[in-house]
Amino acid sequence: MVFHVKEVVKGLVLALLGLAAVIALAVLFLPRAKQAAEGAPGGSASLYRPGKYISQAQIGRSGVSVAVTVSEDAIESVELMKMAEAQEVFYPLVKPAMDGISREVVASQNADITPPEEYAVTGRLLISAVKDALAEARTAKREN
């Protein structure tokens, strides 16, 4: 039996890459399964009570409303409620910050995100409001 070192090394590299891919997939999907199990009393797989939850973010001297819509196990949308014209003029970064936050929260299904540096302060305030709304959706689930 003749072994060619080049083929053996190539086989080992491919095996290691395959193993790394399996581990990466496990790491990506296991935290979500763990989160579902922890957030669901009584063994139910749902995380939230479906609905639209509204929270306030205090920006300047006025507040803006953030609405988070959830299904039983997913964040479906995050949106900024209608702002007054004066707020839009004095706080022009609120809408672009909310657009980016909304996309990232829905894509990651998690509000533990870092806002872009250009919207750092505004972003943190909006993310806090999103977290409050999600906490309310989880609390509503536990109460039922």
Tens of pLDDT along 74-127? 999 999 987 888 888 888 888 999 999 999 999 999 999 988 888 888 899 999
Which residue, 129, 136, 113, 139, is CA-closest to 66? Answer: 129
Which residue, 32, 98, 109, is CA-closest to 76? Answer: 109
Rounded to the nearest integer, the mean pLDDT of the chain is: 84
SS3 97: helix
- C-alpha to C-alpha distances, 140 to 35, 37, 39, 49, 50, nearest whole angstrom: 17, 17, 12, 6, 9
Compute the average pLDDT of residues 15-34: 80
Q: How far apart are CA 133 and CA 49, in angstroms?
A: 12
Strands lying side by side in the sheet with 62-70: 51-59, 62-70, 75-80
If one looks up domain 51-143 in CATH, what number appears?
3.90.1010
Please report the pLDDT score of residue 63 as a whole number: 85
81-88: Cβ within 8 A, 24+ apart: 81/54, 87/59, 87/60, 87/62
Q: How far apart are CA 126 and CA 2, in angstroms?
A: 65
Please report the pLDDT score of residue 91 as a whole number: 87
Q: Residue 10: pLDDT above 50?
A: yes
- Confirm whether pTM is higher than 0.75: no
